[in-house]
């Protein structure tokens, strides 16, 4: 039987759009105490108002995942307001049109690794001590199928997304005796704003077959509702045309 998420404290990092936004919505509708975090305050306030109209309250937090201080403050503020964090969903990610090695620069590389990988570690290290102390916690990371197989998404993106898989699996191995679970979700093509950062956006017929953000959010929710005795270390979620 699926676990109830009522009153569980959930932080969603990268909640202003796409998969993160849909994830925050689903958790709120399940009765969780959701803290939706991102850099874009206007987007977060719109999400908050949309859910309030449905009768669901969420908290929002303006935070940059690439800044360790922001992630530490996010976790500290959440614990002060709601108590211990039960679930962390790390969804923040970006790419660049200048992804080919002929155009990639050290500055672009650093930005890509900072947002896509370092942020995942910053959020993890901020929340782990309290989870470890109470012998409970679930960390869910959104990576990409690009983290598992070579494609044209670029060296920086692939390196970062593979790094997220390594981080997730290392945390699980080291912390499983402390009751901490991890899952890393690797979606295929999803129709989100990140596609605007492709050199050439996918054709309309391809996008029509792509996953929707809500598809990935549903998978995250499914994993989160598993009983504490069960764990899904890694999940691939692909459009059926692949």
Residues marked active site are found at 157
The answer to whether 223 touches 232, Cβ cutoff 8 Å, is yes
Contacts of 176 (CB under 8 A, 6+ apart): 231
Give dist(CA 151, CA 58) in Å, integer.
Answer: 37
Give dist(CA 178, CA 184) in Å, integer.
Answer: 19
**193 exposure class (CB count in 10 Å sphere: 0-12, 13-18, 19+):** exposed
CA angle 199, 205, 206 (to 5 degrees): 55
User: Residue 204: CA atoms inside 13 Å, Cβ hemisphere, count?
Assistant: 0
Residue that is written with structure tokens 């002929």 in the block: 102
Residue that is written with structure tokens 């102390």 in the block: 133
Contacts of 45 (CB under 8 A, 6+ apart): 60
Give dist(CA 41, CA 29) in Å, integer.
Answer: 21
Residue that is written with structure tokens 């679970």 in the block: 181
């Amino acid at each position: 039987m699926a676990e109830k998420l009522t009153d569980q404290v959930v932080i969603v990092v990268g909640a202003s759009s796409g998969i993160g936004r849909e994830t925050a919505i689903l958790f709120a509708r399940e009765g969780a105490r959701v803290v939706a975090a991102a850099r874009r305050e206007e987007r977060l306030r719109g999400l908050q108002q949309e859910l309030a109209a449905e009768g669901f309250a969420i908290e929002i937090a303006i935070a940059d995942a690439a800044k360790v201080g922001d992630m530490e403050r996010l976790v500290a503020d959440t614990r002060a307001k709601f108590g211990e964090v039960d679930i962390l969903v790390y969804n923040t990610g970006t790419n660049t049109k200048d992804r080919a090695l002929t155009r990639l620069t050290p500055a672009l590389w650093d930005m890509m690794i900072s947002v896509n990988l370092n942020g995942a570690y910053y959020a993890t290290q901020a929340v782990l001590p309290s989870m470890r102390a109470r012998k409970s916690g679930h960390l869910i990371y959104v990576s990409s199928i690009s983290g598992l197989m070579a494609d044209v998404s670029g060296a920086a993106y692939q390196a970062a997304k593979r790094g997220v898989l390594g981080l997730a699996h290392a945390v699980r191995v080291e912390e499983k005796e402390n009751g901490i679970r991890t899952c890393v979700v690797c979606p295929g093509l999803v129709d989100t704003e990140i596609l605007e950062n492709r050199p050439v956006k996918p054709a309309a017929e391809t996008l029509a077959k792509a996953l929707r953000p809500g598809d990935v959010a549903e998978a995250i929710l499914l994993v989160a509702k598993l009983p504490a005795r069960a764990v899904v270390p890694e999940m691939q979620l692909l459009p059926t045309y692949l």
